[in-house]
Copies of this chain bind each other. A is one copy, B any other.
Amino acid sequence: MQKEHNLSKNQKIIFDLIDKSRGPMKAYSILFNVQKKGIKAPLQVYRALDKLVEIGKIHKIESRNAFIACQNSNCQVSKATAFSICESCENVSEISNSKLSKYLSNFSDSSGMKYSKYNLEFFGLCKKCKSK
């Protein structure tokens, strides 16, 4: 049961763009693409991105400074994320594997720290690129 977040005008414009995109999008590429819709400044983009990340509609791919729509319908908040990234074609996909997420969500080490969030990025070559 997903809480309905009524996206604001800018949030909706930016989410729709990212959601339609094939891969992760960078902030200034988003900006360029939404200028015709009246969004003129980087800050307008970053504010929408911040909110969309906060509510889990998109995730940030930290190693790429790029944003991707959540591909995991029951992922309400970005607190347990895993991605596979092709180092050749830069294709990114979200991994939803319940064993992995269980394992990592319950992970604790000797430091006595309780983790509330994690982000995991796997790198390699995707099927297509491997066979080239």
Contacts and interface: CB of A to CB of B under 8 A. Distances in A.
Interface of A: 62-63, 84, 86, 93, 95, 97, 100, 103-104, 107, 109, 111-127, 130
A63 B127 contact: no
A123 B77 CA distance: 14
Copies in the complex: 2
A49 to B, nearest CB: 15
Contacts of A122: 107, 113, 115, 117-118
Contacts of A100: 107, 109
Contacts of A125: 113-114, 116
Nearest to A117: B123
Contacts of A93: 111
Contacts of A127: 111-113
A93 B112 CA distance: 12
A76 B120 CA distance: 20
Contacts of A118: 120-123
A53 to B, nearest CB: 12
Given A113-B126, A113-B130, A116-B123, 20 more contacts: A62-B63, A62-B121, A84-B115, A93-B111, A95-B109, A100-B107, A103-B103, A104-B120, A107-B122, A111-B126, A113-B124, A113-B127, A114-B124, A115-B122, A117-B123, A118-B120, A118-B121, A118-B122, A119-B120, A120-B121
